[in-house]
Structure 1
Amino acid sequence: NSLTSTANRAGFRIVPGAEALRALVPEVDPRSDLIVVLSHEGIDIDRELAAAGLGIDVIVGGHSHTRIDKGEWVAGVLILQAGDTGKYLGRADLTVRDDSLVSADCRLVPVRAAEAEPSDRMADLIEVFRERVDDEYGTKIADAPAPLGRCYFCESDLGNWVADRLRESVGAEVGLINSGGIRKDIDAGPVTKLDIFEVLPFWNQIVQFTCTGEELRTIALTNSRAEAEELHGILEVSGLTYSWWGSPDGVKLHNAMVGGVPIDPARRYTVACVDFVASSNAEKYLGIVPKDIEPFGVTLTSAVMEAAEELGIVSAPQEDRIQRVEIDFMAPAGR
């Protein structure tokens, strides 16, 4: 349920993988020699499924981008995953006897795409779609004086730029965008609509909510923990600045400000976000559950495209909006 926005799930009932398999395996087992599960839930959940005694034989997994060179056996179930970004093709030669998987010879085959030449028929097909994409997204809309890059666990110049455009699009005081939703760096030079689409390919909807200053501090603390412990990609921020430190008792918020002014715990602040964060993953990313989420009927991708075209330039320095404070806990008192 957390992998896509609430709107995208409308009309669907999504059940845990183990529950679905308990219903399906008895139906397909009499008609098969081998039961192979295609999973996109990550290696940890794949291991749980394998250990659950569900009657499956093989799990071909994804999402966690785990490279498993020779396959991994858990409770007699073979788990396969071939890393990320198409670097490898997984091959598994299986021996099946009496309705059971007896053995497996598994390996990863490197994909050397740069050395491959497409057939004439495939090259013609690629060109047809390239022309369609160029017609729609090939237009130059801005220039980037210098490269802008991403960071999954820390503040980045590209994250700052996207968060600023998000906040400005609805006039909010704070803008928050999950770093994992920023999927490509921007090179110096001309910037096209396609560049922006490749940076923000998910078409997440822009939403706004309000929260108290105390809740906003909770959001900053939750984000600090995500950075300190690398729990997941952090939220890039706009309008909000804060610092944190790691104490023996855990991560602590040092200070937090909005617009350069210390946060008032009792005051309410407007926050611009995307539905993937605010509606589908609020507790994970925010540490709170907003109660007054207001959709704006526009995607982050289209809003950022429009902003880039209007500004004509894509540029944002990394401004230390998020800072880690180092404290020497072994220093003598009074130092």
Structure 2
Amino acid sequence: MRIFKLLFLSLLLFSFSSSQPKTITILHTNDMHASFIPKEATWSKKEPKPMVGGMNELFFMSDSIKKVKTCLMFDAGDVMTGNPITEYKYQNAFGGALFEMMNRVGYDAWCFGNHDLDAGQENLLAITKIVHFPILSSNVVNDKNDFPLNNKPYTIIEKGGLKIGIIGVMSQFLYNLVNESNLKGIKVLSPSETVQKYVDELDPKTDLLIALTHEGTDDDSILAENVHGLDVIVGGHSHTRLTKPLKINDVIIVQAGANCENLGELELTVENDKVTDYKGKLLTLWYRDDRPKNELSNFIDSVKTVIDKDYSEVIAELKSDWRRTNGENNVGNFICDAQKEIAQADVAFTNSHGIRKDVLAGPLTKKELFEVLPFQNMMTTFQLSGKQLQEVVEYIINKKPAVQLSGIKCVYTKSKDEIEIDKLEINGKKIDEDKMYICTASDFFVGEADRYIGVKPNNVITSNTTVFKAVEQYVRQMKVIDSQIEHRIEQDK
């Protein structure tokens, strides 16, 4: 009888403790883009502009929270691309030093983003050997057997008396975002169907289910609508500063902007397998110069010293700001002019979203130019007939893709839905429909030519020179740069 009473009491206590609300705090970042050191907060209204961000500030902020709360820390992809650090190998991986910094900050899981594949799949494999946390991706799979890349679709972490399932998710549009040569042998499955599959598998084993995604808030909202049983989406890709969480279909959605400027903090109360309360906010990582030195800051300093030695050189003078305005812009014009000159082509194209930074007038360093063009895209040449180029111009006028160009001058009139081209010249001469013109663009652009220019390039030749190197060569030749908007395609009023 006494044994029965003790057993009953034990079961009662277990039932009581398991049903008690438990609190877990999710710390999250996304789209850091190699921003490992503080930089000027150009968006601040204060003068002089304060400094913000960097891995060391991220460490101090997250560590202060971890000391007083039960926490897990996640990153939602695009650690790579944006700073020359990704040009340097650390433990056999380009950009590997960034992931060593993440180890020291103390991450618990990461889903890779599209830019984390910019250096190829082998580089991602090398990164897996550096990190001390799982790399998650459920819907990027081997195209032969459907095994998830890195064979890690999810992980389960026990923390604060909770079992938490985390599922990694990639944008379904990966093939539009990464150079096709870096995606050989893999395919992307439907995010909603794949996540539902793993939610169904994990739900009986866990108290809380989180999707760690790199697809943007719009697609996160669709995921929340379509998947049943998911609790939280920690997102990336769209660089959205969600100062307060979204809630769609009872799914909480968070995202923390970009460039290591913010740390997201989401506090969850979980009871009986449900989130019963939540509070979310963004913490701006303002730089402080009174931080004590530590192992991480010493490591950051050593990496920065190497980069500064190679990239601090002033290579030209900008007479006017480089601004990435909508439509034609002066930095896009200059980049296309540079590509055309170095490739000795008639026409050059570049995609506007590949231009990643504005630069103020004044001395232009190699580092700043790299931050404008941080991708390892290769220069290509290809041929288009005059007739095809006319189709390209009409496509650009009608579809308005995010494209910059050089070598083309067009004036057109528009009435209702009809376009009439009044003037179309290639380098000052009337276009010849039968002539084959030499064009140049990046290999990424050529792979997405249908989307950007609406025609298929002929006789594509890929060089062994990156677009950055080609533009750097042209910048050094110019020395003084005063690029302007020239209305290369304009509507006659």
The answer to whether the superposition gives a TM-score over 0.5 is yes
Q: What are the residue-to-residue correspondences of 1:19-168 with 2, within 5 Å?
A: 19-109=193-283, 111-115=284-288, 117-121=290-294, 122-140=296-314, 142-168=315-341
C-alpha change, 1:244 and 1:65, in structure 2 (3 Å) is farther
TM-score (norm 2): 0.59
Residue aligned with 2:179, SS: coil
C-alpha change, 1:44 and 1:169, in structure 2 (3 Å) is same
Rounded Cα–Cα distance in structure 1 between residues aligned with 2:353 and 2:291? 32
Q: Which residue of 2 aligns with 1:333?
A: none
Q: Displacement, 1:319?
A: 2.2
* 1:45-89 C-alpha deviation (Å, 9 max, x unpaired): 112211112532211222222333322222222221233444443
The answer to whether the 8 A contact 1:209-1:271 is kept is yes
C-alpha change, 1:269 and 1:318, in structure 2 (3 Å) is same
The answer to whether the 8 A contact 2:377-2:444 is kept is yes
| Gapped regions of structure 1 (runs ≥ 5) | 327-335
Is 2:455 the partner of 1:288? Answer: yes
Letter in 2 for 1:286: I
Rounded Cα–Cα distance in structure 1 between residues aligned with 2:198 and 2:373? 36
Is 2:429 the partner of 1:261? Answer: yes
The structure 1 residue matched to 2:439, chosen from 262, 271, 274, is 271
Higher RCO (CA < 8 A, seq sep 6+) = 1
The answer to whether the 8 A contact 2:324-2:358 is kept is no
Alignment length (residue pairs): 318
Residue aligned with 2:320, SS: coil
Q: Displacement, 1:116?
A: 5.9
* 1:116-173 C-alpha deviation (Å, 9 max, x unpaired): 6443124433321121002222233x32141331324222222111111111222111
The CA RMSD measured in Å over matched residues stands at: 2.5
C-alpha change, 1:87 and 1:145, in structure 2 (3 Å) is closer
Q: Which residue of 1 aligns with 2:183?
A: 9
Rounded Cα–Cα distance in structure 2 between residues aligned with 1:250 and 1:60? 45
**Larger radius of gyration between Structure 1 and Structure 2:** 2
C-alpha change, 1:102 and 1:125, in structure 2 (3 Å) is same
Is 2:365 the partner of 1:192? Answer: yes
TM-score (norm 1): 0.84
Residue aligned with 1:120, SS: coil
Rounded Cα–Cα distance in structure 2 between residues aligned with 1:170 and 1:42? 36
C-alpha change, 1:37 and 1:156, in structure 2 (3 Å) is same
Rounded Cα–Cα distance in structure 1 between residues aligned with 2:318 and 2:252? 50
Is 2:491 the partner of 1:318? Answer: no
Q: Which residue of 2 aligns with 1:242?
A: 410
| Gapped regions of structure 2 (runs ≥ 5) | 1-174
C-alpha change, 1:114 and 1:298, in structure 2 (3 Å) is same
Q: Displacement, 1:113?
A: 1.7
Q: Which residue of 2 aligns with 1:329?
A: none
Rounded Cα–Cα distance in structure 1 between residues aligned with 2:466 and 2:460? 15
Rounded Cα–Cα distance in structure 2 between residues aligned with 1:89 and 1:76? 23
Letter in 2 for 1:119: P
Rounded Cα–Cα distance in structure 1 between residues aligned with 2:419 and 2:411? 11
C-alpha change, 1:253 and 1:152, in structure 2 (3 Å) is farther
Q: Which residue of 1 aligns with 2:384?
A: 211
Letter in 1 for 2:487: D
Q: Which residue of 2 aligns with 1:330?
A: none
C-alpha change, 1:93 and 1:161, in structure 2 (3 Å) is same
Aligned-pair identity in percent equals: 30
* 1:204-238 C-alpha deviation (Å, 9 max, x unpaired): 111222223232223223333454xxxx6x21111
Rounded Cα–Cα distance in structure 2 between residues aligned with 1:23 and 1:213? 51
The answer to whether the 8 A contact 2:316-2:476 is kept is no
The answer to whether the 8 A contact 1:150-1:179 is kept is no
Residue aligned with 2:208, SS: coil
Q: Displacement, 1:193?
A: 1.9
The answer to whether the 8 A contact 1:152-1:180 is kept is no
The answer to whether the 8 A contact 1:207-1:274 is kept is yes
Letter in 2 for 1:210: Q
Q: Which residue of 2 aligns with 1:332?
A: none
